[in-house]
Structure 1
Amino acid sequence: MKLRIDHPFWVRVSIALLLPVMLPIAPLLAQPALPLIKANSTQVRIKDGYVVREGIWTVSPQLKPDTYTALEPFTNKTITFYTDVDSIAFSVKPGHRYAFNILLQGKDTCLTQIVVGNVPNGLATSGQSELPLNTEQLAMDFVVFRDYLKHEHPGLYRYRAKEKIDKLLDSCLLSIDRPLASSEFAKKILFSISHIQDAHTGTTFTGALVRRYQDSTKLFPIDLYFAGDKAFIVCSNSGQIEVGSELLSINNRSITAIRQDLFSYLPSDGSIQTKKIHTVNNGAFPFLYKWIIGHGDSLTIDYKPRDKHVRSATIGAELVKNFTCTFDRRASTGKLVDLSFPQPNVALMTITTFDESRLSNAKLDFRAFLQGSFAEINRTKPATLILDLRNNAGGLDEYGALLFSYLAKGPFNYFTTVESTHKKSTVAENHLLNRQLAQELSFKGKVYILINGLSFSTTADFCAITKSNGRAQFVGEETGGGYYGNSSGQLLKIELPHSKLNVLIPRFNYVNAVKPAIYPDRGTIPDYEIIPTVDDLLRKRDVQLQYCLDLIQKK
């Protein structure tokens, strides 16, 4: 879906002058009918389409005419001249020129004209998207992106003050000072999104980047596992690097600095880091490293094998199709939902998604699953329930509230407010704003919930409600979604006009009905933080589940 902006805000950006478009300029005869504006100062500000240009134009009475050449792209747009006391605007078209007079200090008449070039032949070729875009096109795209955020994003200032967000966006805009390819311009968009700190805001660019790199780009052929501030090698394409070694640097840059650089382009809610860690751990590192930092056909690394001295090696970059690493880091039964009894008196319920489409495609009825599972739990009467919500990226809000109704000991609130930038939802429009009732079969025993950085969106909301109501203890890692709520719901998809980048903006701001937490910009923090080591990963030990089972046994 392509959307357009009707009344974009101005952008204050200084842009280098373009080479003049060579159009024949015949002398303009003075005509009484020419429009006239007044000026006391020779300094003039020009708004050319979306772009405001300051410090590039002075009134020059000696030039007959004084010609302003419009910025590319040559399209229908409005160009406005602002003097210190007056202004004049023209709706311009490609291939036309527009004349007017500026009366300077009440005595000097300055004949001025605006020249708009023709669209060059062959500009719209099939390879245009790969060609660099000029600074004016990029600035226009960024303004469209910025203005849609300000008009449509309901949680733009959830984690950071308006002044800081506005300064961030202005700084990114001012950094557009040279032509860039769309893939380079995308960095500015993703950097902005990352620092807005809303993980539901995004682009479709990263998926396109992966597809492009898979076919023709040589990448870093080592599979990494990040744990805390360290990175470990879990698979090497050549096999020459010992598995389990700690990677210290790539091309003389520390892994800590590389991690910081990559994280600056990854979205998250607030200050949460766990979702970013899981992103680089699940195969994104070679693509992100090539795109954000870049490298040639070979890379130099420093690494430290177990209990040995630091070593160096030169690694050749490889096409993805030639990667021999097939390390699978996710242990999974393949079931989207499951109920089992791993040890006496303990039930284990695994829910990997609340997504209605995925469940429907697997021919699963989520409501029926919960009803049947809790009926079985009620029949067998285990003392403890473990709920595994790791890697559950969310889905239908109603499913999160429904699941909690099977744990609640009485009526409860789920959301306090749901609103867009245009209106606030009512109870009639969203029943989760109403008081919710506990199920007759609700479980009354002890509950432990397994979470990690991919426990996101609806899952994070459910965890926050459960934590706030004191209904469970949490084991694992901080959730990838915020404790107080998120911006999600319907997504607005816009296509930036020149770079053709697609940006996704959530439409609704959700506020969870929770008690205050220590950190306003974090997720649900586990009572027992358990981060798998590289050895746990290599040996496929589920230490988070095992810790939970051992904890239950001890108690």
Structure 2
Amino acid sequence: MKKILVPFFTILVFSCFSSSNCLVAQETLKKEQLLEDFQIFESSLRQNHPQLFLYTSEQKLDSFFINAKKLIKNEMSPIEFYKILTPILPMVGNNHTNILPPKSFVEFISTETKRLPFSFFYKNDTLYVLEDVSKEYLIGEGSIVTAINGLEVSSIIHKFLENITTDGYNKTQPVYRASRGFSRYFGYYFGFPETFEVRYIDSGGKSRIAVIEAITLKEISKNRKSRNTTLTNGREDYRFEVVDDIGIITVRTFSLSNPKLFKRFLRETFQEIDTKDISTLLIDLRDNMGGYPEASNQLLEYLINETITPYKLEYAITDNIFNHEYFEDDIYFKHFKRQNLVEREGKYFVKGAVDTKLMPNKYAYNMELFILMNASSSSTTGQLIGLIKAYTEAIFIGEESGGNPVGIVANDILTLMLPNSKIEVKLPVIYSELNVDFQNSGRGIIPDIPITQTIDDLLKGKDTTLEHALKWISTN
């Protein structure tokens, strides 16, 4: 029976992040309410998450829960409480486990709140300006930011990384997230002031200081459009081309709006490769953050030369979600309740998961194969890259892939709604382990040929990473 929650005491207040900027009206929650949310949060993770202690020992997580609980004060806003919870994310080390602020807070900062008007690129401990969409337009693209409001960039990034979800010990993905979500994370952990004092090094190497006015996302979008910055360029979901006798298949997502069209694209593409006798193939999986395994498996069938069983095992640790009354009754929750689970030695295995077999397609490719990847090659794409490594002779180019190539907790991602703070916890409940011949190191696939983007590459608006990859392939 669902518990009826009666607030002990709430006061409508303004969460002010500076003396001149009050952000949004929020309820201040009493300690009893926050402790109730914390207990639901902790017990839900312990009883439902199948790999909670994969990268951090139970003893260390016990210490986290004890110490985090001590930080709860007599009165706190939901976003203050949120910041107590998020340090657990890199400890769990699962990219699909996440904690989100209340929707009302996210909506407000997306529509009304003013923020830092820049996009950044962080590389080798250096924060470059990728887009200057400020009113002043003083700093400019390519400049190096060294401090914001007296905070050194290194300490800012370190704070982000302490609170960002990632897979295991991955080195590329959390940094990518930190730089691309910089202004939002800065607001979460350092506030939303009216102005920013930015210390930077300009294109001439001279140290400067600029005071930049915070502006809304609407104003940022307007400035971006008027200045026609490189980040406005879109990309196709998938395509095929031939450059200097090298076939290039680009797939940017496996979350396809029309799976039949993708299936036809693969068939026609590999028929063309066979007809034209193309002996070198590059598959570009950069910025592909995953999607449906069925779609990635369709591509894999054109790359293998033997029948394979992709999954070694797949299981949950419960067949009845603990604290189920606090989870949203969405399609994922309903799907989990329909899962055909078989109990064995305290685990609940998904029946038939290990029986899945993939057979080589009639036009399967068996010549020289290269995979281009980066920090955003994650989730389903990370799995695909792991299977390609295990079952082909492919050479990997680019950056460490963002996903885990051995095991992933990503199926049936349920939404836990903490009843008082309205904080959302994304909690996957099924663990899948791939049938590969290497162990889980907590890292993505490390490239055989490292090629990384530079700020100059990005500012040119050209895909110089692909150019470098093609040059290496042709030369070698």
TM (norm. structure 1) is: 0.72
Whether contact under 8 Å (1:407, 1:471) holds in the other structure is no
5+ long unaligned stretches in structure 2? 15-23, 319-342
Is 1:340 matched with 2:241?
Answer: yes
1:540 matched to 2:434: no
Say yes or no: does 1:266 pair with 2:164: yes
Query: Is the counterpart of residue 242 in structure 1 residue 140 in structure 2?
Result: yes
Check conservation: 1:488, 1:506, Cα contact below 8 A: yes
Which residue, 352, 361, 375 being the options, matches 1:429? 352
Deviation at 1:252, TM superposition (A): 1.9
1:460 aligns with 2:382: yes
The question of 1:526 aligning with 2:426 is answered no
Stretch moving more, 492-501 or 185-194: 185-194
The structural deviation recorded for 1:514 is: 1.8
- Pair 1:412 & 2:308 matched: yes
Would you tell me which structure has more helix in proportion to its own residues?
2
**How far off its partner does 1:228 sit?**
2.8
- Give CA deviations for 1:63-84 in whole Å, capped at 9, x if unaligned: xxxxxxxxxx768xxxxxxxxx
**Amino acid in the other structure paired with 2:352:** E
CA contact 1:172–1:192 (8 Å) conserved in 2: no
Indicate which of 78, 95, 99 corresponds to 1:182. Answer: 78
> Which residue number in structure 1 is paired with residue 331 of structure 2?
none
5+ residue gaps, structure 1, are: 6-48, 50-72, 76-118
Asked whether the 8 Å contact 2:102–2:421 carries over to 1, the reply is no
Indicate whether 1:476 and 2:377 are aligned: no
Alignment of 1:95-494 (within 5 A): 130-205=26-101, 209-236=105-132, 237=134, 238-282=136-180, 284-323=181-220, 324-326=223-225, 327-329=229-231, 331-333=233-235, 335-344=236-245, 346-355=246-255, 358-360=256-258, 364-422=260-318, 423=343, 428-430=351-353, 433-494=355-416
Q: Which gives a bigger RCO, structure 1 or 2 (Cα 8 Å, sep 6+)?
A: 2
CA distance in 1, matches of 2:34, 2:350: 43
Query: How far does residue 307 in structure 1 lie from its aligned partner after superposition?
Result: 4.0
Range with bigger deviation, 456-465 or 163-172: 163-172
Q: Deviations over 1:249-301 (max 9, x none)?
A: 1122211111111122211011213222332443x211210221125222222
Deviations 1:142-201 (A, max 9, x none): 110111111111121222222222222222222213421112212223222232111101
What whole-Å deviation, never above 9, does each CA across 1:415-435 have from its counterpart, x for those lacking one? 1111111345768532x5444
Secondary structure of 2:469's aligned partner: helix
* Distance change >3 Å, CA 537–CA 153, structure 1 → 2: same
Q: 1:188 to 1:271 in 2, by over 3 A?
A: same
Q: Percent identity?
A: 24
**Deviation, structure 1 residue 133:** 0.6
What count of residue pairs does the alignment treat as equivalent? 433
Distance 1:200 1:332 in 2: 25
In structure 2, do the counterparts of structure 1 residues 317 and 428 end up closer, same or farther at CA, with 3 Å as the change threshold? Answer: closer
CA contact (8 A) 1:427 1:433 kept: no
Deviation at 1:222, TM superposition (A): 2.3
- Tell me if the contact between 1:417 and 1:425 (Cα under 8 Å) persists in the aligned partners: no
Indicate the structure (1 or 2) with the bigger Cα radius of gyration.
1
Instruction: Output the CA distance in 1 between the equivalents of 2:391 and 2:193.
Output: 53
Change (3 A) 1:325 1:4: farther
**Following the alignment from structure 1 to structure 2, what is the Cα–Cα distance between the partners of residues 330 and 276?**
23
Q: Deviations over 1:443-478 (max 9, x none)?
A: 011111111111111100010111123431111111
Aligned partners of 1:420 and 1:508 also within 8 Å: yes
Distance 1:532 1:383, change over 3 A: same
Deviation at 1:316, TM superposition (A): 2.0
Aligned CA distance change for structure 1 residues 322 and 287 (closer, same or farther; 3 Å): same
Q: 1:516 aligns with which of 426, 431, 438?
A: 438
Cα RMSD over matched residues?
A: 2.7
Q: Shift of residue 126 of structure 1?
A: 12
Aligned position for 1:506: 428
- Evaluate the alpha carbon distance shift between residue 339 and residue 391 of structure 1 in structure 2; reply closer, same or farther with a 3 A threshold: same
Kept in 2, the 8 Å contact 1:347–1:386? The answer is yes
Counterpart-to-counterpart distance in 1, 2:127 and 2:178: 10
Question: Equivalent residue of 1:130, what SS?
Answer: strand
